[in-house]
Amino acid sequence: MDIIPLVLCSVLFILFLNASVSHFRRRKLPPGPIGLPIFGNLFQVGPKPHVSFARLAKKYGPIMSLRLGSVTSVVVSSPEIAREILQKHDDVFCERAIPDAAKGQANFHISMVWLPAGNRWRMLRQAMHNHLAHKHKLDSLVDLRHKAARELVEHVKEVSQRRCGENGEMSAVAIGNLAFSTALNQMSNVCFSQNVAEYESNEILGFMKAVKTIMHVGGKFNISDLFPWLKTMDPQGIRRKTKKAYDWLEARVDIFLNQRMDQIRNSNLSFNSTHDHDDLLHSFMDCGLKDPDFNTQQLKVLLIELMVAGSDSTSITAEWVMAKLLLNPDIMKKLRQEISEIVGTKGKIEEIDVLNLPYLQAVIKETMRLRFAVPFLMPHKSNEEVEVNGYVIPRNTQIFINAWAIARDPSYWEVPEKFIPERFLNSTVDFKGQHFGFIPFGAGRRICPGMPVAHRMVSLIVASLVYHFDWKLPKGTTIDSLDMDDLFGITLPKATPLLAIPTFLN
């Protein structure tokens, strides 16, 4: 009987020790605002978390902790701390915090975006590098991207000749929709050697609705993520919405996949003997012959990821570029002159030329700096406890890299709120993950694998729109009244679509 008090004392001591350690660890977390019971700092975050986090960082520092519901997160808002997270401790922070919205996708667990950085993830990254991002492969698929750009010019040219209304005024176009359709067809040509659909078609609108749903609702603060015990209920219906969108996209990818399989069967040849296509579908099917993990489901998940990311972020960036140019006619004029000089007697724009236009690239970089397509990048998570900048970050902590705020840091950028493309002329600062004040594609091992193709797509779209057309705002819209607000989600599109009237020049 004497052993019972000893056991009770031992249990109490262990509980006290655990509580003391937990308290110490909480004290060693980065500083942050005091939160409310249950809700934490949730009510200190407005409808634009990237802005709210930037405001809080001014008070609590470049690395701070927030409790959002029952989940503790760390927010990074300086280039120096971003470098520690994404470079120095890249092996610790290379995991993903998977939001419940992502689980609306069938087989999300084999998505390259959400996979842990293990063997399967490395296999997919290697496939992406070899068959999409490698310079040789990019160059071999250039004609497919040129085809989509030519179709863009022809469509806008036809629109520019329309008249509407009683006064026969010229028609305005939604530049974001144009850019989305072009980026989608560029991506579908790279993936399947064919367009998804024609401009303004129901099929294009279906793709746009599905992609925008995934990117918008997927970026919302989801009660299921903040209070994990509610996940089975999906109280906001976010997972149900993303599931509907992902299912729609998978059905379309199935069509392309079945078409290719029919072509192989009808040719009476083995897959290895067919060389009519040099697109990603062909390359990925070839990967499947060599690696059993690269099965049909893996192939479909990867193609859907490419279609979603390639069309959304590319079109968002292109729309913001055009908005900035309409606000700055002198910059638009200077850019058109640069493009005209390089086009010269060719009479056509080629991708290899626009990639080497310094002012065009400066305009695109400056737009990406001010208008980050993905303000927090994709969510990182610590796979073990680690010390960063003197603070302890526990295992399984979600990390927000506020790349939007970092790109507006006045200690890193001169007059950061102003649109000055010239800041990138004669500058070594690039977006390839080495300059942590400017990381629109991320950095470290989780840097966006589609960066090279996205860069080429944006450059070609913008150059085509600027060189071939003059643009003006619709009647009743002025530079001062143009809405430049953004809409928060995984990505940051314009809240109000950009409308402009094209006049064909060349």
Alpha-carbon distance 401 to 241, whole Å? 26
The residue type at 285? M
Give the per-residue pLDDT at 102: 96
Q: List, run by run, the mean pLDDT of 10-residue segments along the chain (506 residues).
A: 45 40 59 96 95 97 96 97 97 95 95 94 93 88 90 92 65 93 92 87 94 93 94 95 97 93 74 60 88 91 93 96 97 97 84 94 98 94 96 96 96 96 95 96 95 95 96 92 95 96 91
Whether residue 67 contacts residue 374, with contact meaning beta carbons closer than 8 Å, is answered with no
Angle between helix 358-370 and 329-343 (nearest 10): 140
The residue type at 268? N
Give the per-residue pLDDT at 274: 45
* Complete DSSP assignment for 341-410: HHHGGG-S--HHHHTT-HHHHHHHHHHHHHS-SSTT-SPEE-SS-EEETTEEE-TT-EEEE-HHHHTT-T
Alpha-carbon distance 93 to 82, whole Å? 11
Contacts of 108-117 with CB under 8 Å at 24 or more apart are 108/301, 110/297, 110/298, 110/301, 111/301, 111/305, 112/301, 112/302, 112/305, 112/449, 113/305, 113/378, 116/383, 117/445, 117/446
Alpha-carbon distance 162 to 175, whole Å? 16
Alpha-carbon distance 503 to 61, whole Å? 49
The residue type at 167? N
> Encoding tokens for residue 448?
């966006």
Angle between helix 119-128 and 280-290 (nearest 10): 140
Alpha-carbon distance 185 to 193, whole Å? 9
Alpha-carbon distance 203 to 55, whole Å? 41
Q: Where are the domains of the chain?
A: 31-504
Question: How many Cα neighbours within 13 Å face the side chain of 162?
Answer: 12
Alpha-carbon distance 177 to 156, whole Å? 12
B/e letters for 303-320, b = 16+ CB within 10 Å, e = fewer, are bbbbbbbbbbbbbbbbbb
Alpha-carbon distance 263 to 286, whole Å? 15
Which residues are CB-contacts of 346 (< 8 A; sequence separation ≥ 6)? none
Q: Using alpha carbons only, give the angle 265, 271, 274 rounded to the nearest 5 degrees.
A: 90
> Encoding tokens for residue 35?
């939160």
Q: Using alpha carbons only, give the angle 83, 85, 88 rounded to the nearest 5 degrees.
A: 70
Give the per-residue pLDDT at 457: 95
The residue type at 115? L
Alpha-carbon distance 390 to 405, whole Å? 22
> Encoding tokens for residue 480?
């001062």
Length of the chain: 506
Q: Using alpha carbons only, give the angle 336, 340, 344 rounded to the nearest 5 degrees.
A: 175
Calculate the dihedral angle through the C-alpha atoms of 296, 299, 300, 305, rounding to the nearest 10 degrees: 160
Whether residue 128 contacts residue 134, with contact meaning beta carbons closer than 8 Å, is answered with no
Whether residue 385 contacts residue 392, with contact meaning beta carbons closer than 8 Å, is answered with yes
Whether residue 358 contacts residue 344, with contact meaning beta carbons closer than 8 Å, is answered with no
* Domain spanning 31-504: CATH 3.50.50.60: no
Alpha-carbon distance 260 to 211, whole Å? 24
Give the per-residue pLDDT at 27: 56
* Complete DSSP assignment for 151-182: HHHHHHHHHHT-EETTTTEEPPEEHHHHHHHH
Mark out the alpha helices in 46-108 (DSSP H runs): 49-60, 79-83
